[in-house]
Structure 1
């Protein structure tokens, strides 16, 4: 099944909803970064949440970046998504391993204490930045807290990644359910009761539920309407030209030093781990371009 995100409303527009299936997204990330199971689940949750948050953006050029910086052994995680369902991400330590905690992967232990930052680039002079603390370091709760404190939108976020015994991804997905400003008290109470009854997202995925079925399971008789369906994929827009621009940005002196050392260089993209090689002739050409820019 191809990955996709659905967007909808319920209770006559008092609630807006998003749900996603992201198995291929997370498996692609696992392969690119050769990640351990715990890193795959952690980044997979953030990729799923980021993909849904990307589709909340209004314009084609809008981009949302989510960063988690904790003091745990996994280090920092970064995910970037756009309004078209394209998402990419990486972790600082993709091979992190920890003992199981209560029979489960210890995501909170891997992340530790820290900060979650959401950066929205919507074409203004300065991007919007919202920072919140990690409340549980389980990612879904942390995004729920972000929406409540930074955007003042009461939300419920559920994210899950299920691994196979061979460490490939079996299932991944999640939901974001948000109350709109005009939500009535009875709607709020009913939704809160429904959310409390929800099993873990992992269990819903294990049962083979589609995004539509997950939302139907939660919202039931609350007048769910699916408005649209957007394909989602792990997509990186890196290229040798973009990497060349990054090399040029370090300046002529740094490039001179690379040339003097007499060895070709390899530069890897953080997001997809693709390696780009630059020969001495390539570096000399970039140096010439630096000179012409003066």
Structure 2
């Protein structure tokens, strides 16, 4: 069994286990903190099956999916949010995208990577991802140009990097804890995390409270594997001071279609399309997000060529 949880803060800072994937957001007014927490076991398992992910790849993608979904819950509208991480490690690019509606898709460059730390046996996500690169967030709000933010990777462990992003790019001190627990047969036993963000009114006392609570706090993947819900994990930190404001169901969902690939293929040079027709006598296109393949025969390709 491979455990994979990290938490970091930039203020220096059986049956229950089969619960549906969802996230909650809330407020802790007494501590001037807004909170998010999620469980993502099912959607990460679905991604694992689509991409044939090995444990470390499941952990890297799962952590990034959890953080991306919670970041999406911070938006007030259904903007398109795309997170890209590339640290120069063997896994290559880790990419996730959501319309902030609880649905997410994603992939990794190399799904067949697996490293563990010798001293703990934990999955070495930082080794797989690397730290010589950047975390990029693109928000498409339907304006003329999307808003793009980049920060250098700190550790490649994902949680540390999102915490640094919130501080460096948005000036919001944050605790980010994300984790994935993978069984010996590669199935995901638990996945999820939480984000705690200090509001502008936060005091030194609020900062000290969070720092103290995060000392020796259990791995979030272990808590989820024990059957703890996102609400219960937040209650472990804040007790009855916690106020849950909303919840949202989560799922892995790819919106690819043959029609969308047709529109993409219209942008190809005419000579490439003609080669597909006369030399290859057809084409097969594979979606990088879900692995689904689409077949285009000569007639399909001729129609695309005619549309140009």
Q: TM-score, normalised by structure 1?
A: 0.94
Query: Can you list the C-alpha shifts for 1:159-205, whole angstroms capped at 9, x where unaligned?
Result: 01111221111111100110011112322221221122422212222
Structure 1 regions of 5+ residues with no counterpart? none
Q: 2:296 aligns with which of 257, 260, 278?
A: 278
How far apart are the structure 2 equivalents of 1:288 and 1:131?
Answer: 40
Note if contact 1:79-1:87 (Cα within 8 Å) is conserved in structure 2. yes
2 CA distance for matches of 1:280 and 1:242? 18
The question of 1:82 aligning with 2:95 is answered no
Q: For residue 180 of structure 2, what is the aligned residue in structure 1?
A: 161
- Is 1:198 equivalent to 2:237 in the alignment? no
- Aligned mates of 1:25, 1:201 — CA distance in 2: 17
Residue aligning to 1:57: 75
SS in 1 for 2:215: helix
How many residue pairs are counted as aligned between the two chains? 288
Q: CA deviation at 1:282?
A: 0.6
Q: Secondary structure at the match of 2:90?
A: coil
Moved over 6 A (4+): none
RMSD between aligned residues: 1.4
Determine the structure 1 residue equivalent to 2:305. Answer: 287
Alignment of 1:134 with 2:157, yes or no, is no
Name the SS for the 1:53 alignment partner. Answer: helix
- Between the aligned partners of 1:117 and 1:169, the Cα distance in structure 2 is 26
**Aligned residue among 28, 50, 55 for 1:10:** 28
Higher relative contact order (CA 8 A, sep 6+): 2
Instruction: Measure, in 2, the Cα distance between the counterparts of 1:59 and 1:104.
Output: 37
Q: 1:66 aligns with which of 83, 101, 115?
A: 83
- Comparing 139-148 and 117-126, the one that deviates more: 117-126
Distance in 2 between the 1:286 and 1:115 partners?
37
Distance 1:182 1:56 in 2: 18
Paired with 1:33 and 1:214, the residues of 2 have a C-alpha distance of 30
SS in structure 2 opposite 1:220?
Answer: helix
Tell me whether 101-110 or 42-51 shows the greater mean CA deviation.
Answer: 101-110
> Equivalent residue for 1:210?
229
**Pairing 1:111–2:132 present:** no
Question: SS of 1:192's equivalent?
Answer: helix
**TM-score, normalised to structure 2's length?**
0.90
Please point out which of 46, 50, 53 is paired with 1:35.
53
Using the alignment, how far apart are the partners of 1:218 and 1:152 within structure 2? 23
**Paired position in structure 1 for 2:112:** 95
Determine the C-alpha separation between the residues in 2 that align with 1:13 and 1:104: 33
- CA deviation after TM superposition for structure 1 residue 229, in Å: 0.7
Mark the runs of 5 or more structure 2 residues left unpaired by the alignment: 1-18
Check whether the contact 2:175–2:197 (CA below 8 A) recurs between aligned residues.
Answer: yes
